[in-house]
Amino acid sequence: MNVFNPDIILPNPMSERVTDLVVALIAQGRLSPGQRVTELELAKRFGTSRAPVREALRTLETQGIVESAPHRGTYVKPFDALHIARVAEARYALELLSVRGAMVRLKTDPGLAAGLEPIVQRMRAVVSKEDRLRLNQADIEFHREICVISQNEIVTKLWDAIAKHVLIGFGLMADRYPDSDDIVRQHFELRDFLIDGNIGDLPPVLAAHVGGLQRPGLEPTSTRDLREEKL
Do 29 and 97 belong together in one domain? no
Q: Which residues of 2-38 are buried (b: 16+ CB within 10 A; e: fewer)?
A: ebebeebbeeeebbbbbbbbbbbbbbbeebeeeeebe
Do 24 and 117 belong together in one domain? no
Residue 182 located in a structural domain = yes
Residue 212 confidence (pLDDT): 56
Residue 124 confidence (pLDDT): 93
Low-confidence ranges of the chain (pLDDT < 70): 1-12, 212-231
Residue 114 located in a structural domain = yes
Do 102 and 213 belong together in one domain? yes
Residue 3 located in a structural domain = no
Do 167 and 99 belong together in one domain? yes
Q: How many CB atoms lie within 10 A of CB 167?
A: 21
Do 33 and 134 belong together in one domain? no
Residue 231 confidence (pLDDT): 37
Residue 4 located in a structural domain = no
Do 195 and 222 belong together in one domain? yes
Q: Is the pTM of this model over 0.85?
A: no
Full residue range of the structural domain in which residue 34 is found: 14-76
Out of 48, 76, 104, pick the residue that ends a domain: 76
Do 92 and 64 belong together in one domain? no
Out of 31, 60, 76, pick the residue that ends a domain: 76
Do 91 and 156 belong together in one domain? yes
Residue 88 confidence (pLDDT): 92
Do 70 and 85 belong together in one domain? no
Structural domain count of the chain: 2
Do 68 and 97 belong together in one domain? no
Residue 217 confidence (pLDDT): 39
Residue 128 confidence (pLDDT): 80
